[in-house]
Structure 1
């Protein structure tokens, strides 16, 4: 599975319909650490069909970023049962990101 882009329009419905743990990467195209995290997120999506992996461009969706108190990027947030579960800030290794859904 590929990392899918979320927007303010489809965020809530996607999270509600997922039926599995979700990881969302809040990023910006100009952000260096975000570019480091991007291939890790792609790898997680490919290797873990039981996890939904998504990303949100904070420049294009500032209201959504504000709703989840995203002040620094990358911020990676996990959701379980439609609720925010865990949150990490900054570029992190794959294991740290996977710990968000454990």
Structure 2
């Protein structure tokens, strides 16, 4: 999981490559529920780079991307959005894997 150091680095990932942006926050119980499963999900989908985005640190980006609930996932390929799993509900490993399979499909 890549954690961008600043807004410029985050912007680079948004423009290049096949990426899954994982919007999260330290205080978010549902985010902390899914975090232990993220290495397994990453291993299942090696074609993607996974970028963890702290919603509080990048509030402007979250607002611009219409991320109003976390945890949320946005998949991009060279700057083009391929899909999103964005809501405020707790997500399971199976739900995230199914979403990524569908986007990849």
Instruction: Show structure 1 runs of 5+ residues with no match.
Output: none
TM-score, reference length from structure 1 = 0.81
| CA shift for structure 1 position 16 | 2.5
Instruction: Find the counterpart in structure 2 of residue 28 from structure 1.
Output: 25
Partner Cα distance (1:17, 1:82) in 2: 6
- Measured on the aligned residues, the alpha-carbon RMSD in Å equals 1.8
The answer as to whether partners of 2:22 and 2:51 remain within 8 angstroms in 1 is yes
| CA shift for structure 1 position 57 | 0.3
The answer as to whether partners of 1:44 and 1:53 remain within 8 angstroms in 2 is no
| CA shift for structure 1 position 95 | 3.4
| CA shift for structure 1 position 65 | 0.7
Tell me, yes or no, if structure 1 residue 15 matches structure 2 residue 14: yes
| CA shift for structure 1 position 75 | 1.2
Partner Cα distance (1:51, 1:15) in 2: 12
The answer as to whether partners of 1:8 and 1:63 remain within 8 angstroms in 2 is no
Higher helix share: 2
Partner Cα distance (2:73, 2:37) in 1: 12
The counterpart of 1:51, out of the listed 48, 53, 68, is: 48
Count matched residues. Answer: 98
Render the CA deviation track for 1:35-75: whole Å, top value 9, x for unaligned.
Answer: 01212222222343211111100111111111111111111
Partner Cα distance (1:80, 1:36) in 2: 27
Instruction: Show structure 2 runs of 5+ residues with no match.
Output: none
TM-score, reference length from structure 2 = 0.79
